[in-house]
């Protein structure tokens, strides 16, 4: 009963934030893409005018979500249309509840099976069949999808250049006999940094190559996956990268007012937001971390004083386009064709050239 309630909360909280999807094309289902023991669905988005040797983003949905829901509920397809430099794969979970297998030993181990192997096969297929640049493969996801992001970064480090996990838990935190792990979800599962790091290293025994850069995002008021999971994730990835547990830089109000970005080294960032589990995904920030737009956020060697605030500019559109946009929704930016006026009392503010947001 409690597990069912948890899984319901894990999913419905993300229904509050919706976006206007103006993607040029629809999703394309791909079958027979390789080893797929749990029957994970593969859905592909390719923009018109795609550049040669594109990058690839794997965007993974939350519990009870679908590939289509994450396609419609995030901005990755619209940004792909604007940039023409990457394609997006939206995996679809085979579980009847729409959650990902992030708990079995198979999924947690390189090429051993589980949902993670199905997703790895999609990536290998895309590299072979769509000309994807193997050095520019990235993964991101929300909630259960964030858990899978951590799983893939641990079990398949050879496939990814970077990951960005939104409101998830550390690699192997949900390990156990069932889809749900109450000790992890409620923040009661704690380990040393070495123990967490060893779990990641054991995901691909004998692997000595580079690890994907990692970026963790979490709401300090998360009522579904306790904020302690963020702190345990910091232990894990600082150990994997050999970084100190003390940030080398801290940026307040980054990327939004009240949010705090801690950078521990060039390959790891952790961002806390004053939100519940329903943390609004900042797709432009994810692409910046992946190196697909702009620089790399928060990697300045100079510590930003806590009083420093990132400035934003209110957009004053000369013409109103489309219906009003909701809070946290996109309202402008290069290539944006959706609504450019926010519902009251929110205003459209410039975050960067590519992304304006209702705040």
Q: What is the spatial distance between Cα 46 and Cα 49, in angstroms, rounded to a whole number? A: 9
Choose among 237, 330, 341, 233: nearest CA to 280. Answer: 330
Q: What is the spatial distance between Cα 264 and Cα 242, in angstroms, rounded to a whole number? A: 10
Q: What CA–CA distances, in Å, run from 349 to 94, 188, 314?
A: 39, 39, 4
Q: Where are the alpha helices (DSSP H) in 224-282?
A: 228-241
Phi, psi of 152 (to 5 degrees): -65, -40
Q: What is the spatial distance between Cα 229 and Cα 225, in angstroms, rounded to a whole number? A: 7
Predicted local distance difference test score (pLDDT) of residue 155: 98
Give catalytic status of residue 172 as yes or no. Answer: no
For the entire predicted model, the pTM comes to: 0.81
- Dihedral angle computed from the Cα positions of residues 269, 270, 274 and 280, in that order, rounded to the nearest 10 degrees: 70
* Mean pLDDT rounded to a whole number for the chain: 87
| Residue 335 CB-density burial (10 A; 0-12 exposed, 13-18 middle, 19+ buried) | middle
Choose among 270, 290, 283, 174: nearest CA to 225. Answer: 174
Predicted local distance difference test score (pLDDT) of residue 10: 58
Structure tokens at 329: 């929704």
Predicted local distance difference test score (pLDDT) of residue 15: 40
Predicted local distance difference test score (pLDDT) of residue 162: 98
Low-confidence ranges of the chain (pLDDT < 50): 1-6, 8-9, 12-18, 298-316, 318, 352, 354
Q: Which tens digits make up the pLDDT trace of 253-284?
A: 999 999 999 999 999 999 999 999 999 999 99
Candidate list 143, 144, 164, 254, residue with the active-site label: 143
Predicted local distance difference test score (pLDDT) of residue 331: 73
Predicted local distance difference test score (pLDDT) of residue 326: 65
Choose among 204, 119, 216: nearest CA to 167. Answer: 216
């Amino acid at each position: 009963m409690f597990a069912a309630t948890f899984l319901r909360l894990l999913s419905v909280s993300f229904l509050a934030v919706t976006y206007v999807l103006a993607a040029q094309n629809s999703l394309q289902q791909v079958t027979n893409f390789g080893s797929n023991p749990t029957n994970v669905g593969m859905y592909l988005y390719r923009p018109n005018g795609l550049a040669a040797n594109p990058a690839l983003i794997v965007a993974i949905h939350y519990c009870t979500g679908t590939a289509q829901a994450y396609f419609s509920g995030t901005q990755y397809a619209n940004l792909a249309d604007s940039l023409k430099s990457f394609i997006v794969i939206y995996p679809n979970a085979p579980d009847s509840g729409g959650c990902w297998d992030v708990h079995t030993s198979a999924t947690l181990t390189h090429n051993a099976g589980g949902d993670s192997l199905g997703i790895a096969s999609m990536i290998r297929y895309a590299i072979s069949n769509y000309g994807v640049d193997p050095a520019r493969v990235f993964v991101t996801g929300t909630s259960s999808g964030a858990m899978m992001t951590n799983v893939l970064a641990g079990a398949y480090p050879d496939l990814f250049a970077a990951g960005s996990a939104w409101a998830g838990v550390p690699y192997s935190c949900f390990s156990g006999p069932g889809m749900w792990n109450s000790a992890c979800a409620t923040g009661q599962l704690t380990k040393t940094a070495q123990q967490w790091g060893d779990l990641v290293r054991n995901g691909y025994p004998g692997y000595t190559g580079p690890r994907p850069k990692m970026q963790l995002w979490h709401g300090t008021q998360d009522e579904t996956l306790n904020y302690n999971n963020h702190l345990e994730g910091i232990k894990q990835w600082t150990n994997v990268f050999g970084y100190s547990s003390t940030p080398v830089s801290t940026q307040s109000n980054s990327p939004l007012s009240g949010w705090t970005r801690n950078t521990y080294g060039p390959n790891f960032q952790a961002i806390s937001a004053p939100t519940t589990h329903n943390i609004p995904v900042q797709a432009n920030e994810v692409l910046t971390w992946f190196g697909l737009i702009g620089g790399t956020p928060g990697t300045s060697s100079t510590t930003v004083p806590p009083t420093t605030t990132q400035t934003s500019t209110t957009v004053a559109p000369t013409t109103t386009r489309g219906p009003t946009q909701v809070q946290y929704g996109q309202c402008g930016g290069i290539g944006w064709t959706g609504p450019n006026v926010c519902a009251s009392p929110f205003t459209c503010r410039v975050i960067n050239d590519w992304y304006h947001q209702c705040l």
